[in-house]
Amino acid sequence: MLYWALAASCLVGVCIGAGIPLSSAPSSTIHHDKKYYNLSTFQNNQEGSFDKYFINMDNAELRKGLSDTMVGAELIKPLFPFPFYGHNVDQFYITTHGFLSLSPRLHDYIYKTQYIAPLRIKLDPSRKNDSTISILSLPERLTIEWNNVHVMETAEHPTGGSFTFQVTLWPNGDIAFVYIEVQPVLTTAALYDHEPVAGISDAFLLHGSELHLYNKINIENVDINTRTVAVFKAKPTCVAQTSCDSCANLADTSEFGCMWCPSSKHCSDGSDRLRQRWNDHDCHLENVTTCALEADRSAGGHMEWRHSTEAELVAPAAEPISNAGSEDEVSSGSTVSAVISILLVIILLCILAGFLFVYGRYNETTMIGRYVKSIRSSYEQFGAPKTTTLELGKKKKQAQQQEAEKKKENAGREFVNPMNPMNNNNTITANM
């Protein structure tokens, strides 16, 4: 009857497991050899897995702020740097929705990638007073537990029930999910994008806003039951290598296509959180695929370089180039550049002077206009042709002489009207 009831529930929800295993239920272990981690899933305490990985939380620290929040996240700093996909992470966020966010900052899509998710569903610890989220932080491990937590009221399945589970992290990068109690079915409203509810994922960030997912490891929903244990064993990664030799050795002994970039001192296959640094140093154009021993390299030993250019792939090896010829070419190029630069400066200065002159010519009230006007006056005084000025002076003198003679002829008949209001002198003047 239990299995018939479960099947009926699955028609209106999403099965995530078989609930509490029966004592006669067969135990099983599933191993997956992934690129970054080896994943092993144990059912019903197979190989003593539940006893081994279950952590007693009697001395754990209760996170009351999270325990009383429906949707929230809290920053935590473990007592050791945790290597996640080979990257040392010093801090991350615990969320009320059953996962850890290893994103550098919180955003609306933290559930999409860069997470460690033992049970990534829409939980609501604030619904019940006895629902808690607690941590046990030690130098040798860190454990977070969601205890007796229900899903959001609007997303709860008619059969109801709470969830209790743990995630434990170790300094070597290993991760364990321990499911103490899970419910067999969930409504689709309790899920994120209809994806598997458990797993890990990472991405790299480009240009400060573009998240690029490069790996995801999911646990199938049907493999998640009460007393299930899932263990992720970390494998060596390119980005964790700190020297050219270790980078090349990993490339030879794993499926990673590791390359060493001398300019950034960074080992990568192009997919890790340091991708932006890889691009900024043009490591995709020049990188090392094989290295000599460290002593030989420091003494000028041979290094094989990889250049991602099409010309090198199709062209034969070039003859050695003379250093003297190279220096002459560099010197000639420098001289030509200097001459061109000087000519451009002279042309620009001439254009500027012409513009200022025209501007001052038509804007005489400005400082530039007054200066241009003074220049023009100096030119007319000292630089303009002299004939015009002399001729004007001669004509003026002749006119003055004619005027004097005319006055002389009409002197007896001329007088000044004393009644003229414009003349303040009341004396009549006349030549006798």
**pLDDT one-digit tens code per residue, 153-189:** 998 898 889 999 999 999 999 999 999 999 988 889 9
Top-confidence residue, 57 or 385: 57
Distance CA 244, CA 291 (A): 6
Flag the least confident range among 187-196, 252-261, 311-320, 394-403: 311-320
Question: Which pLDDT belongs to residue 89?
Answer: 96
Burial class (CB in 10 A: 0-12, 13-18, 19+), 21: middle
Number of H helices, E strands in the chain: 10, 22
Q: Contact, 306 vs 284, CB < 8 A?
A: no
Angle (deg, nearest 10), helices 367-378 and 323-362: 90
Unique residue bearing structure tokens 């990068």: 173
Q: Judge whether residue 265 has pLDDT over 80.
A: yes
Structure tokens at 402: 């004619």
Structure tokens at 377: 């006056």
Distance CA 88, CA 395 (A): 101
Of 287, 269, 289, whose CA–CA distance to 36 is shortest? Answer: 269
- CA 178 and chain centroid, separation: 35
Q: Judge whether residue 143 has pLDDT over 90.
A: yes
Residue 380's pLDDT band (boundaries 50, 70, 90)?
Answer: low
Partners of 203 in the β-ladder: 213
Question: Which pLDDT belongs to residue 24?
Answer: 42
Q: Contact, 259 vs 289, CB < 8 A?
A: yes
Question: Which pLDDT belongs to residue 330?
Answer: 45
Rounded average pLDDT over 207-235: 93
Question: Which pLDDT belongs to residue 394?
Answer: 54
Most confident of 279-288, 342-351, 374-383, 416-425: 342-351
Helix (H/G/I), strand (E/B), else coil: 356: helix
Question: Which pLDDT belongs to residue 172?
Answer: 96
First to last CA, the chain: 158
**Cα pseudo-dihedral 330, 334, 340, 346, rounded to 10:** 180
**Percentage of residues in the chain with pLDDT exceeding 90?**
48
Of 69, 70, 30, whose CA–CA distance to 46 is shortest? Answer: 30
Q: Judge whether residue 127 has pLDDT over 90.
A: yes
Residue 7's pLDDT band (boundaries 50, 70, 90)?
Answer: very low
Question: Which pLDDT belongs to residue 362?
Answer: 80
Q: Read out DSSP for 226-250? A: TTEEEEEEE---GGG--SHHHHHHH
Mean pLDDT estimate for the chain: 78
Distance CA 432, CA 430 (A): 6
